[in-house]
Amino acid sequence: MATPIDSQRSDFSRRKLLQAGGLGAAASLVPKVARSEGLPAGRGPAMRRQRQALPEKGLPATPAAGIVALNRMGFGPRPGDIAAFTALGANDPDRVAAYVAQQLDPDSIVDTELDNRLAAAGYESIGISQDPDTYRATLWDWYINDNAPSGNTSSSLPRDELTRATFVRAMYGNKQLVEVMTDFWLNHFNVNINHSSFVRTMYAHMDLVIRLEVMGNFRTMLEAVAGSTAMLYYLDNYTSSNAGPNENFSRELFELHTLGAENYLGVIQQNQVPLDDDGRPIAYVDADVFEATRCFTGWSFSYGVSGDGDTGLFYYRPEWHDRFQKNVLGVFIPQDQAALQDGRDVLDALASHPGTGRHIARKLCRRLIGDDPPQNVIDAAAAVFTAQWQAPDQLQQVYETILLSAEFRTTWGEKIKRPFEIAVSAMRAAGADFTLRMDDSDTSSFLSRYDDTGQELFTWPSPDGFPDVRGAWQSMTPRVAAWRLCNWLIDFDDDADNYYVDVLGQTPGTVRSSNELADFWIQRILYRPMDPADRNEIVQFMAQGINPDFDLNFDDGDTRDRLRAMVGLLLMSPDFLWR
């Protein structure tokens, strides 16, 4: 058997942010949420206990559909995006339908600015190939077998470049729904990128296989992820054999990736599970997990043992496979099937099961609509998911069902931006010019501040992924860290004294009074009016006791600093944090 392998910030901006942002609204950070979504009546207990939801407070008024769509199908509008959205139709339903059609056809979207920025960043390990096996073998050769052409063979390089590229894609990409859904699926199939040098190196391959199928088919994505080097190593399936089966992967495959804990009936016998109208078990039990574990024995990757070639590619070890018959979710799996067929039969059974459709539809609706999404939309999306489980555009059809629902465009404030969404939407709204290069100390400063927010990319330690409910992020810790990050973005300039967010340069020369400055930047950041009381706070902050209709002296450094701080306040206002 093979062997396993800082700058100072002014007091005025700090005080006013604490007032405007309402950072004391929640008492403590909820570090993770339950992995169970609740069982229907009569079901057995979930494997993990469900947390109680925080009580809801009043929600803000729903803004125009463009603001809703661009903040939930993407990472917020850039200058010009709202106008482009408005031009798509005569009314909001038509505009949403046209925008959804655009985003569901990413190949038709031109992304020249993003392509140029990625090229300018000079990432060595990003974009090597769009063929998953070629990419996987190259990553392994360069950073595990130490053959990188640059001479930098650290396993941290692919991780660090992917982190930067993820920000750049979200900030400057026009294929916003692709980025949102890639983020969703990477979190759904969570792997902690810092788990090991193997995972740090090969995680970028998993990112690629998800991107290739993000608008395609769940069953195809499921097998690609199951066979990825990062997942095989993270959940220990790469050494699972008939002599020592390891159920880690199969457990998470059922509980997280497909059926969900909501469809778990505990330790009862398989023949005691009720059947649905099609004669299949309505849920899974422990025996299904154990039997599936046997089906995936021998699923491994090449790492230099038993003549496997040391390539990092998926590698099936037939001598490790449990060749005898099994039974999973009512599917009889005969002995001595062709290589990989046992595991593929399990993936078929899971991908086609209505419980998987319900579980994933609920998660998608939670991401795209609200923490407690409407059941009718969940049901509609689940029905499409299951009926179309073999369709090459299955996921497009599911997304479309959710995004074209009236509930999508008329729901607002049931989600708040998580730290990644705050950082990216702030840079998009404020017109940041910041390509995260590897050789840039400012990029390191940005990422260091970002990591303090609690959502360091790809690093959630357990397989359930970062929480996607507002209660997990409504506390002082992530809010204050996000405020510091936004202040840094607004205040910081490069070695040539060019601000990453050129607030002064983007302010029209005719806009100089405190009232005018507040109104210009409120519209620029929020695309809608603020509550009059909140607007007054912004105006008074900018005026500092001067008549708010008087023009300010922009030759004065304090005035320029205060204007940048005012924009920073808007980026951390409650209005900006809703989605």
Domain match, 439 and 405 both: no
**Are residues 385 and 255 part of one domain?**
yes
Q: Is the domain of 438 the same as that of 507?
A: yes
C-beta of residue 294 within 8 angstroms of C-beta of residue 302? no
Do 499 and 360 belong to one domain? no
Give the domain-ending residue among 392, 410, 428: 410
What DSSP assignment string belongs to 526-552? HSSPPPHHHHHHHHHHHHTTS-TTSBP
- Alpha-carbon distance of 13 to 170, in angstroms, equals 28
The answer to whether residue 428 sits within a structural domain is: yes
Quote the crossing angle between the two packed helices 476-491 and 11-21, to the nearest 10°: 130
Q: Which residues pair with 315 in a beta bridge?
A: 300
CB 467 within 8 A of CB 30: yes
Residue labelled with tokens 């482009």: 84
What are the DSSP E strand ranges found in 331-474?
Answer: 331-333
Q: Which two tokens stand for residue 429?
A: 């709204």
Do 239 and 346 fall within a single domain?
Answer: yes
The DSSP element (H or E) to which 326 belongs, if any, is strand 326-328
Instruction: Work out the burial of residue 542: count CB atoms within 10 Å of its CB; fewer than 13 is exposed, 13-18 middle, 19 or more buried.
Output: buried
Q: How far apart are CA 576 and CA 578, in angstroms?
A: 6
Q: Do 260 and 346 sit in the same domain of this protein?
A: yes
> Are 404 and 434 within one domain?
no
Q: Is residue 432 located within the same domain as residue 406?
A: no
For residue 102, is it within any domain?
Answer: no
DSSP secondary structure letters along 297-325? TTEEE-SSSTT--S--SEEE-GGGS--S-
pLDDT of residue 474: 86
Q: 180: number of CA atoms within 13 Å, CB side?
A: 26
Q: How far is CA 60 from CA 453, 532, 576, 579, in A?
A: 25, 14, 11, 10
pLDDT at 13: 36
pLDDT per position in the chain (579 positions), as tens? 454 443 333 333 333 333 333 333 332 222 233 333 333 333 333 334 333 343 445 789 999 999 999 999 999 999 999 999 999 999 999 999 999 999 999 999 999 999 999 999 999 999 999 999 999 999 999 999 999 999 999 999 999 999 999 999 999 999 999 999 999 999 999 999 999 999 999 999 999 999 999 999 999 999 999 999 999 999 999 999 999 999 999 999 999 999 999 999 999 999 999 999 999 999 999 999 999 999 999 999 999 998 999 999 999 999 999 999 999 999 999 999 999 999 999 999 999 999 999 999 999 999 999 999 999 999 999 999 999 999 999 999 999 999 999 999 999 999 999 999 999 999 999 999 989 999 888 899 999 999 999 999 999 999 999 999 999 998 888 889 998 999 898 988 777 778 889 999 999 999 999 999 999 999 999 999 999 999 999 999 999 999 999 999 999 999 999 999 999 999 999 999 999
How many C-alpha atoms does 371 have within 13 Å on its Cβ side? 23
78 is a domain residue: no
Tally of domains within the chain: 2
Length of the chain: 579
Q: What is the model's pTM? A: 0.90
Residue 513 lies in a domain: yes
Q: Are 138 and 193 in contact (CB under 8 A)?
A: no
- Look at residue 534 in the predicted model and tell me its pLDDT: 94
Which of these, 68, 26, 55, 49, lies nearest to 473 by C-alpha position?
A: 26
Domain that holds residue 499: 6-28+419-454+475-579
Q: Is residue 440 part of a domain?
A: yes
Which among 279, 95, 73, 272 has a CA at the least distance from the CA of 182? 73
Look at residue 559 and tell me if it is in a domain: yes
Per the structure block, which two tokens stand in for 310?
């040391």
**Residue 322 covered by a domain:** yes
Shared domain for 357 and 499, answered yes or no, is no
- Calculate the dihedral angle through the C-alpha atoms of 25, 27, 31, 37, rounding to the nearest 10 degrees: -70
| Judgement on whether residues 184 and 324 belong to the same structural domain of the protein | yes
Q: Are 428 and 167 in contact (CB under 8 A)?
A: no
Whether 140 and 218 map to the same domain: the answer is yes
Residue 321 lies in a domain: yes
Give residue for tokens 């599917």. 331
Tell me: do 366 and 440 sit in the same domain.
no
Q: Could you say which of 385, 410, 435 is where a domain stops?
A: 410
Residue 205 three-state SS: helix
Among 517, 513, 452, which residue's Cα sits nearest to residue 480? 452
